[in-house]
């Protein structure tokens, strides 16, 4: 039984190829490696074929993952923006409920509470790109 996994064997063989392509003076001796790993050269190259991991395929995979990450980040940003808008609309709704109660209680008369609620409403609505509103006219 080999001391190395199939993936480790394939990785070492790929590394040997890269060293060969880069013209390194000291070469990895595949026969010695196979003997140390307890497998035949034929088996080593079978593993390499099955697990065909190359630097370019890893780079392509990395690029795809980076694109997927960017898309996920954009979706998350959009979802967070929509959630914030929903929260703002909910706050506007609560202000309107409170304003309605103030109007029922005090009629059309101006009250400090109505002024405070109107200011808060207009502050929030401006964040949503809405026009200001006057609730005592």
Q: How far is CA 14 from CA 32, 46, 51, 103, 109, in A?
A: 16, 13, 10, 78, 83
Residue 23 forms part of a structural domain: no
Radius of gyration of the chain (CA): 34
Residue 137 forms part of a structural domain: yes
pLDDT value at 55 more than 60 = no
The answer to whether 13 and 30 are in contact (CB under 8 A) is yes
- Residue 53: CB partners within 8 Å, gap ≥ 6? 10, 11, 14
Range of the domain at 129: 77-137
Residue 129 forms part of a structural domain: yes
Nearest to 27 by CA among 38, 18, 36: 18
Domain count, the chain: 1
pLDDT level of residue 43 (50, 70, 90 thresholds): confident
* DSSP designation for 43: H
Residue 18 forms part of a structural domain: no
Q: Which of 105 and 50 is assigned the larger pLDDT?
A: 105
pLDDT level of residue 25 (50, 70, 90 thresholds): low
Q: CA 119 to CA 135: how far, in whole Å?
A: 10
Residue 32 forms part of a structural domain: no
Q: What is the largest CA-CA distance in the chain?
A: 96
Residue 2 forms part of a structural domain: no
Residue 88 forms part of a structural domain: yes
pLDDT level of residue 133 (50, 70, 90 thresholds): confident
pTM confidence score: 0.52
């Amino acid at each position: 039984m080999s001391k190395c996994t199939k993936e480790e064997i394939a990785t070492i063989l790929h590394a040997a190829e890269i060293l060969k392509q880069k013209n390194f003076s000291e070469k990895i001796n595949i026969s010695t490696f196979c003997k140390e790993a307890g497998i035949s050269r034929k088996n080593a190259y079978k593993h390499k074929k099955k697990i065909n991991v190359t630097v370019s395929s890893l780079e392509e995979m990395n690029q795809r993952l980076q694109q997927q990450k960017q898309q996920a980040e954009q979706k998350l940003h959009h979802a967070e923006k929509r959630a914030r808008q929903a929260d703002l609309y909910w706050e506007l709704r609560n202000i309107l409920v409170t304003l309605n109660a103030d109007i029922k209680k005090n009629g059309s008369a101006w009250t400090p509470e109505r002024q405070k609620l109107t200011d808060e409403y207009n502050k929030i609505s401006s964040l949503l790109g809405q026009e200001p509103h006057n609730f005592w006219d």
